[in-house]
Amino acid sequence: MRDSTEVSVASDGKVAPDYKHALTALLLQMGDDELIFGHRCSEWLGLAPDLEEDIAFSSMAQDEIGHASLFYSIAESLSGTSADRYAFSRGKNSRLNAMMLETKNGDWADTIVRSYLYNAFEQVRLKECLKSNFVSLQQAAAKILREERYHLLHMETWFEKLARSQGEARQRLLRALQDIWPNISDLFDLGVHADSLVRHGIISNTSLGIYSQWESIVRPVFAKAAIDWPGKPVQFSQSGRVGQHTSAMDEILLTMTEVLSLDAQAVW
């Protein structure tokens, strides 16, 4: 439920501490998801199955890192911590991305499954942000959605293509789905400020509501691809939304901060 007093709190620039903490955490969840997913996308450059996919994954990497930078910049305007610091100078346990995004790329089927499930989730989350009472988040979501629909479409096309093919491609897709499905529950987790986020109207739906909408997008695609619905993902005991991560996160942070650790003053 929207609270009209909170709307004015958000729009006149004076933000109550509780509102600010919850909002910053959401911006970091969104920025961290995009940064980590974008980084993994970039790793396909030169290795993707064909030239078109080299270009597609590089384009998406560029888009996602741009989106991360926008979310971090909005967070910077609230907290004073620079976007660069958010991207490069935070330890593993203060990163809030979902754990499934940090996992190594695996094979093409792993990548397509992960990317499709994440992109469908992202559509839902961004659409909920269109109704946010924090204007900058609303505007960023509107701009980003115009780009993201191409990503979702691309991943959905690949998901269906692999599922409909005979033999190894379909087998690999099913195997990838089996591996990834048990590890997706924290995508939908809104973290420690979940209640505040909804109560203040920063995001217009609960974790459960976001999951339901996601299921209503993904499930028909599974049906079309003749894949049995695996059921609601079981709540995993850990969550990236509270800073819990796998060892894959150490590896990714080490790579991402390689230049910074060699030369802290380095510029582009």
Among 20, 39, 40, 67, binds another protein (CB under 8 A): 67
Among 55, 130, 223, 254, binds another protein (CB under 8 A): 55
Give dist(CA 189, CA 92) in Å, integer: 18
Residue closer to another protein (CB basis): 158 or 188: 158
| Residue 95 near another protein by CB under 8 A | no
266 Rama class: left (phi>0) / alpha (psi -120 to 50) / beta: beta
Give dist(CA 172, CA 244) in Å, integer: 28
Residue 236 in contact with residue 98, Cβ under 8 Å?
no
Among 66, 85, 93, 164, binds another protein (CB under 8 A): 66
Footprint (CB under 8 A) of another protein, residues 128-157: 135-136, 139-140, 142-144, 146-147, 149-150, 153-154
Query: Considering the complex, what minimum distance in angstroms separates the CB of residue 88 from another protein?
Result: 16
- Residue 216's contacts (CB-CB under 8 Å, 6 or more residues apart) are none
| Residue 12 near another protein by CB under 8 A | no
| Residue 206 near another protein by CB under 8 A | no
> What SS3 state is found at 7?
helix
Residue closer to another protein (CB basis): 27 or 144: 144
Query: Considering the complex, what minimum distance in angstroms separates the CB of residue 100 from another protein?
Result: 22
Residue closer to another protein (CB basis): 1 or 146: 146
Query: Considering the complex, what minimum distance in angstroms separates the CB of residue 154 from another protein?
Result: 6
Residue 126 in contact with residue 145, Cβ under 8 Å?
yes
Give dist(CA 234, CA 181) in Å, integer: 9
Place of tokens 């790579």: 255
Residue 152 in contact with residue 60, Cβ under 8 Å?
no
Angle of CA points 208, 221, 106, to nearest 5°: 85
Residue closer to another protein (CB basis): 15 or 70: 70
Q: What is the contact surface with another protein in residues (CB under 8 A)?
A: 52, 55-56, 59-60, 62-67, 69-70, 73, 135-136, 139-140, 142-144, 146-147, 149-150, 153-154
